[in-house]
Amino acid sequence: MVRKSVLLVDDDAVFVDAVSAVLETRYQVRTAANGHEALAAIAAAAPDIVVLDVMMDHLSEGFDVARALRSNETTRAIPIVMLTGVDEVFNVRMEIGESWFPYDRYLQKPVAPETLLATLGELLG
């Protein structure tokens, strides 16, 4: 059976290693450290789902990547999970019904491994 692929995008190498270890129990995992790497990786081979940090090289980079994916006909259907600690930095909460946030789910760091796996399982069917 071919495992679904996840692109994990985050600039924190320790976090990427930890989350990759969790995801690799069920998925094929590729990683990117910023938005440019993410878009290049997606252009080379589209993943089944993207797990994306908000703040990397600049404050809204994750949202910029998500908007780029949503505006492209070939990538618009790829589910996007925002997995970020932005709530802790800015003390704001972003809710999925706001149309200008182009993601399918929002999870706050730290996230329990079971929650992350359940979310991806739900979005991938």
Q: Which fold has domain 5-112?
A: Rossmann fold (3.40.50)
Q: How many CB atoms lie within 10 A of CB 77?
A: 9
58 or 16, greater pLDDT:
16
pLDDT number for residue 58: 86
pLDDT number for residue 2: 87
Structure tokens belonging to residue 73: 């006909």
What percent of the chain clears pLDDT 90, i.e. is strictly above it?
Answer: 71
Average pLDDT over every residue of 85-108 = 63
Domain boundaries, the chain: 5-112
Structure tokens belonging to residue 117: 């796996």
pLDDT number for residue 28: 98
Q: How far apart are CA 39 and CA 45, in angstroms?
A: 10
What tens digit of pLDDT does each residue of 20-58 get? Answer: 999 999 999 999 999 999 999 999 999 999 999 988 988
pLDDT number for residue 86: 61
Does residue 93 have a pLDDT over 80? no
Q: How far apart are CA 5 and CA 31, in angstroms?
A: 11
pLDDT number for residue 100: 55
